[in-house]
Amino acid sequence: MPNSDQTVFEPDLASQAQVETESAQDAALPFGTLSAERPEDLDQPRERFRIAILGDFSARASRGELAIGDDLASRRAIRFDVDRLDDVIAGFATTLTLPIARDGGAVEVPLREIDDLHPDELYDSVELFEELDSLRQRVARGDSRAMAELRDWAEEHGRPMPANRARAKGSAVPADRRLSDFQTLIGDMQAIRHDTDAADALIARIVGPHVQAAPDPAQDSMIAAIDAALSDAMRTVLHHPDFQSVEATWRALDFLARRIETGPTLEVVLYDVSAEEWAADLSAQEDLAESGLFRMLAEAPRLDAQHGPISAVFGLYTLEETPPHAALLARMAKISAWMNAPFVTAISPRFLDTPKQDRHPLVAESWDALRALPEARHLGIAAPRFLLRHPYGRRTDPVDPFDFEEFSLREGLHGMLWANPAVLSAVLMAASVTKSGKDMRLGEIMSLGDMPVHVMTDSHGDQVALPCTERLLTTRTMAEVVTRGFMPLLSIKGRNEVRQGSFQALGGDMLAGPWALTPGKGRGGHETSVGFGAALAGATPAKTSAAPSDESAGDDEMAAFRSDEDLPDMGGDADFPDFGADAGPVDFDSDSGLPDFDSPDMPDFGSDDSSDTGDFDAEMPDMEASAECGADELPAFDDSDLDDMLAAFGDDTDGADDNGDDTEMDPALAAMLEDM
């Protein structure tokens, strides 16, 4: 029995899923089973709130390493806090081999500490930059042979290398595979090999286009071309998907360490598990009790008398809206429900390109079946990502060896470092625990300030502050996020601040976990009806009650919001809309839950163009339709139909036009500026 002065986290007994009961959907879809008997001690008060972070911290995927089953089950938890930050990252030291040419030519990038991610250190540690620096010195001395090489390279390699848009190994779950194909990742990843002996060829490909674009063959023009190639080469390394994956993961650890205050009642642990390992292990067997993840996350911590069970799991992974990913999440949900510890991860904002009612039938049926599972109340899916650091440059974070501006119009948003939104969710949940202990209310702290904001110069020469998120959620796109059961991240206009719109579960209502839902505990005390139609149609606002906003200690600037009724409150109490299997009508006749669109302090949800003020309700998905689907309503999973759909998610390694130049704008950046 805990002492009376100890913080105790009481489980939500009423919300426990009946994991032993398999529904008709489970029999028809590959959602797996969980045969392990659920022990009663998981329903006892917990003395410590333990947060588990899953991620590919040591770049296992980039080395072709993949372990499942017994090997994964034996992976140890790594205790983590701000005092251990440097030592923990040093333990994840690795050497990346980045393929940056079409023929497989690659560069090696040694990473031993977080400072090694900076261009200053990369310039000294990566051979490619040493060779470019040597070439520059030769040209500066008037070396005729070097000048001849440059002319030859210009003729042979006049076009710039396309940007690499391949999947980020380790953090993005492969989306072009059926569930049964995830096992082949083991063989595929072990076969990864790249040629690192072609430095001269790589330099020729990088420098050639800049020499061809030079105004004349004079020495000064050639030096300027090499300087431009240096910047291009640095961007090629920094923006390679595998490098971005490691940098985002390591800087996320730095973010977590500095934003979470651990102590006797709050602990953070890390598990070095890649996205590929997570997917392969979950798909390896139908009985999830045999999976390595179940034994690693559920069984081992529960039997640890010193630390106790895990209270919440955050996966630094990105999934897509596909049937195989629905199956993976369903399997993870069963493990999370058994643990009574929610699993929070990210989904790519690609789903925003397809209205809910226009989803592929296979996608609609599989994801609706997933949301209908009782275990889906233990799933939190967030989008979009948020900015993790400023782009390097003279006015933000200067680079010493040469004049370098990381941001370019051509690469745009692809060239910026984004954090998995699950990182923000973890910080917010931890802040609630730190603030209120056993009386924590999920959703009482929903925003973070002091976030990086990038200011760019647009085509008119004006300074534009970009949002802190990779997609600017308008009223319409935010509705797509919410009605799908996802948790939206909002960038606050005019502030270096990001707000999570809700802690709603994929299965509807609040995210389930080891917190009580009695009055004053478990969830935020807000009571706000979420409405979308009236704000655009001009209906009379309904009355709304909201508890005074208490976002965080010392967060005085949040007073400008007046109260949480100024933002869409999807983390409230009685009036929280249930978007799950039994969803009823949502109040679309009230704009009380929407922000003040005229306030400069509110999120910028787009223009007030009259073309966007029509009958919004009519264009919304039918929220009264039940997400439940019986086995007889499930689609016929034709292999060719599924394969054709998944093929669209294959790697786009040639994402940029070979004929492009720096004056072209990244389409995603152009779309964001248009929305603004």
List the chain domain ranges: 49-88+245-442, 95-242
| Helix, strand or coil, per DSSP, at residue 614 | coil
Residue 173 contacts by C-beta under 8 Å, 6 or more apart in sequence?
Answer: 275, 276, 278, 279, 317, 318, 319, 320, 325, 328
> The tokens of 99 are what?
């393929």
Tell me how far apart the alpha carbons of residues 100 and 653 are, in angstroms, rounded to a whole number: 10
| Helix, strand or coil, per DSSP, at residue 613 | coil
> The tokens of 301 are what?
């911590």
The answer to whether 42 and 339 are in contact (CB under 8 A) is: yes
Low-confidence ranges of the chain (pLDDT < 50): 1-6, 13-27, 191, 517-520, 525-635, 653-660
The answer to whether 177 and 646 are in contact (CB under 8 A) is: yes
What letter would DSSP give residue 298? Answer: I
Instruction: Reduce the secondary structure of 2-56 to three states and give it as a string.
Output: CCCCCCCECCCHHHCCCCCCCCHHHHHCCCCECCCCCCHHHHCCECCEEEEEEEC
Tell me how far apart the alpha carbons of residues 152 and 207 are, in angstroms, rounded to a whole number: 11
The 10s digit of each residue's pLDDT in 435-485 is: 998 888 899 999 999 999 999 988 788 899 999 999 999 888 888 999 999
Which pLDDT belongs to residue 591? Answer: 32
For 392, half-sphere exposure in the C-beta direction (CA atoms, 13 angstrom radius) is 18
Which pLDDT belongs to residue 310? Answer: 96
Q: Which ranges of 157-314 would DSSP assign to H, the alpha helix?
A: 185-190, 199-212, 219-238, 241-259, 275-283, 292-294, 300-302
Tell me how far apart the alpha carbons of residues 340 and 11 are, in angstroms, rounded to a whole number: 8
- CA-based nearest residue to 341, from 50, 5, 75: 50
Question: What distances in angstroms separate CA 244 from CA 99, 345, 426, one per listed residue?
Answer: 13, 18, 21
For 326, half-sphere exposure in the C-beta direction (CA atoms, 13 angstrom radius) is 22
Q: Indicate the pTM of the whole model.
A: 0.80
C-alpha angle with apex 553: 551 to 559, nearest 5 degrees? Answer: 50
Cis peptide before 600 (omega within 30 of 0): no
Which pLDDT belongs to residue 103? Answer: 63
**What region, left, alpha or beta, does residue 381 occupy, with left being phi > 0 and alpha being psi -120 to 50 degrees?**
beta
Other residues' Cβ atoms within 10 Å of the Cβ of residue 615: 10
What letter would DSSP give residue 605? Answer: -
Task: Give Cα 188 distance to the centre of its chain.
Answer: 24
Tell me how far apart the alpha carbons of residues 99 and 401 are, in angstroms, rounded to a whole number: 24
Which pLDDT belongs to residue 218? Answer: 82
